[in-house]
Amino acid sequence: MKLYKTILLSLATIASVSTLKAQFKTAPIIITGNMGTGPKTDSVTLDIMAEFGSSSSIQPQITLNQATHSGGFKFELAKTSSPYYISLHSVYNDQTVPFSWENHNLDNYLVEPGDSIYVNYDNQKQTVSFSGKGSEKFMWRYNLRQFAKQFNIIPPSVAWSYDTMFPNLEAITEYGLNTLKTIKSQITPAIYPILESDALYFLSSIYSTMTDFRFAADFGDPAITKRTLSNYEQKLLNYPMDTTQAILKSYSVISGNLMVNKARAEFAYNKMKGLPNPADTYTLLKNSYAPGRLRDKALVNYAFRMNAGGKLPDSLLKNALTEVKTAVYREKLIQIQNNNQTGKPIKDFDFRDTKGKKVQLSDFKGKVIVLDMWFTGCSGCIEVAKHLPAIEEAFKSCNDIVFLSLSADKDKNKWLRSIDPGKKAYFGYTHYTTPTTVYTNTGELSFDHPFINRYNPTKTFPRVMIIDKQGKIFSSSPPSLMEEKNKDAFIKLLKEAL
């Protein structure tokens, strides 16, 4: 894996903070385009993505919707002095139109101050082209994603995926880095190392995948596991990541995830091999890198993940607050602390039930509230929905508890379909749980609802909270109901709340 070592080590000498500020001048960002001929596109959605999220996805921080005019659209974004990521999606309101081809969805594209990018969709060829200032990096990312598709990369639900994983990793990453070099003279110097980190997205995914499936041990084939561990030892175990002066790299959507996933994989490997391990993955992550902005980002990334999964202990958060020195990242940790602190009164906001009636948390004062935040299309949210009926069953004779479902779906009809018990009987998977659940929705505000902004600022779903009888936070990180094994621990915690 010499290729990766060269790239990451080179980041150490690219730029200082002062160089960064000099290269990113404050300027607006303009995204225009045309949806092309074919099925009528009613509107376009542009998402400004959050910096952190759950282990599987990052949700929008801000969502902008715009009706198209003869297929055309234009988004004029506010002035900024930093790069960030956007996603662009077309929306068809005509129910007779089939799902649009996938390239109508452009996910996590990097923009920078001063960009003026034109996006042109060719619906017949099912391709996208880009032009204008800053468009080269869009075309690079689009081509990299198209190249990766030929490998049919899927989560390794079958063991053979592991045998092709490492060759695919090298092919995809080499393609991304080599094609990036061809446009180096056409893009902003400060953007180049950020895109170098972005080119390692599949490397980050492999670390995560190997950890989640315990190096293929979950498939029960010792031969596959042995080969996977051997590949990991030879190519990834001692893979270095130099964080010295890597200020630019910290702007990459991949960098923090990569560092976290690498630490998770190493911790799992040590455990499987019976090797010495620190107390937890967080400690391994912290001890693997020199202090600085990039390590700060990784530590905050890990804290957000743990919080989203209901596994953030107070001791970890307290330690992270002593370790993280970068102001913007300390603020994010303080936000977690302030909005999730046990015993803090929860602020009240308006939700709507299935009939449009206003619902507030204060309506249930005197009862313990189990609040489940979700949205349609979230696989983890479905897992929570599957396990909630068993929790409700354990408290069926208790009148002092209420189960409140809060959907962030903007489309009311989509939400109602997701909680239709008939659909659950037919499909076997929806967000309907029980007849006694109180179903509510954030309405038109969707992910930007003030409750979501305050108590789930990274838009990380699923998210479950427990609120006590006095309207105070009892637990913002209960045992994760995405895993059935946590059911008893969750029930025990609810009994303590009662």
336 shares its domain with 446: no
Tallying the residues shown for the chain, one arrives at: 498
Indicate the Cα dihedral angle 87, 17, 336, 203, nearest 10°.
50
Burial of 423 (0-12, 13-18, 19+ CB in 10 A): middle
3-state SS assignment for residue 379: helix
CA distance 158 to 268: 20
52 shares its domain with 196: yes
324 shares its domain with 271: no
244 shares its domain with 158: yes
480 shares its domain with 417: yes
Structure tokens at 353: 């039930």
Report CA torsion sign: 478, 328, 347, 458.
Answer: negative
Structural domain includes residue 283: no
Report CA torsion sign: 97, 99, 102, 107.
Answer: positive
- Can you give the pLDDT of all 498 residues of the chain as single tens digits? 433 333 333 333 333 344 455 568 899 999 999 887 555 557 788 999 888 865 556 777 888 888 888 788 999 999 999 999 999 987 654 444 444 455 578 989 999 999 999 999 887 777 899 999 999 999 999 999 989 888 765 555 444 566 777 888 889 999 999 999 999 999 999 999 999 999 998 889 889 888 988 888 887 888 888 988 998 998 899 877 766 557 888 899 899 999 999 999 999 999 999 999 999 999 999 999 888 899 999 999 999 888 766 678 888 999 999 999 999 899 989 888 877 778 889 989 999 999 999 999 999 999 999 999 999 888 788 889 999 999 999 999 899 999 999 999 988 998 999 999 887 766 666 788 999 999 999 988 888 898 988 888 767 788 899 999 999 999 888 888 888 888 999 999 999 999
Query: Which residues span the domain enclosing 12?
Result: 2-277
385 shares its domain with 247: no
Structural domain includes residue 122: yes
CA distances to 117, 426, 482 from 310, in Å: 40, 31, 10
* Sheet arrangement for strand 60-67: 60-67, 43-49, 84-91, 105-111
137 shares its domain with 208: yes
395 shares its domain with 303: no
Structure tokens at 456: 């789930």
315 shares its domain with 191: no
239 shares its domain with 179: yes
296 shares its domain with 361: no
Residue 487's CATH number: 3.40.30.10
CA distance 216 to 32: 45
Structural domains in the chain (count): 3
Looking at the DSSP assignment, which residues form a beta bridge with residue 34? Answer: 72, 120
Cis-peptide, bond into residue 435, ω within 30° of zero: no
Structural domain includes residue 284: no
Query: What pTM value is reported for the model?
Result: 0.77
CA distance 458 to 456: 6
The residue assigned the tokens 């980050």 is 204
> What pLDDT sits at residue 246?
74
297 shares its domain with 387: no
